[in-house]
Amino acid sequence: MTKTAAYAAQSKTSPLAPFSIERRAPTEHDVAIEIAYCGICHSDIHEARNEWGGSVYPLVPGHEIIGRVHAVGSSVTKYKIGDLVGVGCLVDSCRHCSSCDEGLEQYCENGWTGTYNSEDKKYGGRTYGGYSERITVDENFVVRIPDNLDTAAAAPLLCAGITLYSPLKHWKVEAGQKVGIVGLGGLGHMGVKLASAMGAHVVMITTSPSKAEDAKRLGAAEVLISKDADAMAKAANSFDLIIDTIPVGHDLNLYINLLKRDKTLVVVGAIEPLDPMHGALLIMKRRHVAGSVIGGIAETQEMLDFCGKHNITCDIELIDADYINTAYDRMIKSDVKYRFVMDIASLKNQKAA
């Protein structure tokens, strides 16, 4: 076991603070990683503050992890010391259910193991995430980071990137299709970049006219203001796919009405109850409302390779570890463009309580 500096929440009301954890030495198929950067996801706030229930303390968040391999187990074949690698939202799954067999570990029917705040079914205890200097992960749940990408800005691809890439691929977005992205935040800005790189005609759908210029800088061809009733009416029945990144419960009916016949609205942001949907909007156009969560390991690697080819990263603000509680407060106010990333080197200057 290796003592490792980290940042942890000790309760749902306590601020995150320096903490010391232990990481296992690499077993046969493990890769030990010196973490360089970890993205800050809104899920980290929900978990740290027990807003979804089920948080177990102490809790070390972080599932957008990039670093270098510093040790490998005796049977590791995929990685070697010095490789630039990443770890996303999951570090294990049952590996034998139908979903796992299809490379869809994120839908593991026996429950996948999250990178943090998850029961470690193999080694016991709870998993600790990437707000830490090191992590040890089975090689089958590690991905390779393209060398041409800015390392810090690539970290949020491990969650925000794959969360948008997976539905774009599953619903087979093609060049020329009209794709709407609802909400311009950490998820939404990645949706604009990725869909644009796939050749889609991307429309940013937002309540805020002030976001129009930035949306177009990121690759949106148009901006549709959802509070503008006339503009929404003109856009009805015109979209091939809409991905909704709004992180809280809201009214889907406005967006459903934008879809062509047989097309789909995909919810990726709100892991909570949504407002009632009007059945006629679905029935009369045979429209679909669906959900999607991250991606499997193979698809995550595919996404990273796509981003490497198209030089896609997240727009980030790099922070030191001791800024994390301020960053959380700013995220709640949507005061970041568009993702905070923690410089893990700054942990070396912190002392655990």
- pLDDT tens, residue by residue, 191-240: 999 999 999 999 999 999 999 999 999 999 999 999 999 999 999 999 99
Q: What local confidence, expressed as pLDDT, does residue 43 receive?
A: 94
List Cβ neighbours of 313 (8 Å cut-off, separation of 6 or more): 149, 150, 153, 154, 157, 307
Residue 33 in contact with residue 136, Cβ under 8 Å?
A: yes
- What confidence category does residue 2 fall into, taking pLDDT thresholds of 50, 70 and 90? confident
Q: What local confidence, expressed as pLDDT, does residue 1 receive?
A: 79
- Rounded Cα distance between 195 and 242, Å, is 11
Check pLDDT > 80 for residue 349: no
Check pLDDT > 70 for residue 351: no
How many C-alpha atoms does 83 have within 13 Å on its Cβ side?
20
Q: Which two tokens stand for residue 189?
A: 């800005």
Q: Which two tokens stand for residue 39?
A: 């993205």
**Cis peptide, bond prior to residue 26, ω within 30 of zero:** no
pLDDT tens column, 40-91 = 999 999 999 999 999 999 999 999 999 999 999 999 999 999 999 999 999 9
Check pLDDT > 60 for residue 353: no
Check pLDDT > 90 for residue 271: no
List Cβ neighbours of 81 (8 Å cut-off, separation of 6 or more): 69, 70, 71, 72
Alpha-helix residue ranges (DSSP H) falling in 12-154 = 42-48, 98-101, 151-154
Place of tokens 């749940």: 141
Residue in 39, 91, 30 with CA at minimum distance from that of residue 65: 39
Q: Which domains does the chain have, with CATH numbers?
A: 2-159+295-301+313-349 (3.90.180.10), 161-291 (3.40.50.720)
- What confidence category does residue 352 fall into, taking pLDDT thresholds of 50, 70 and 90? low
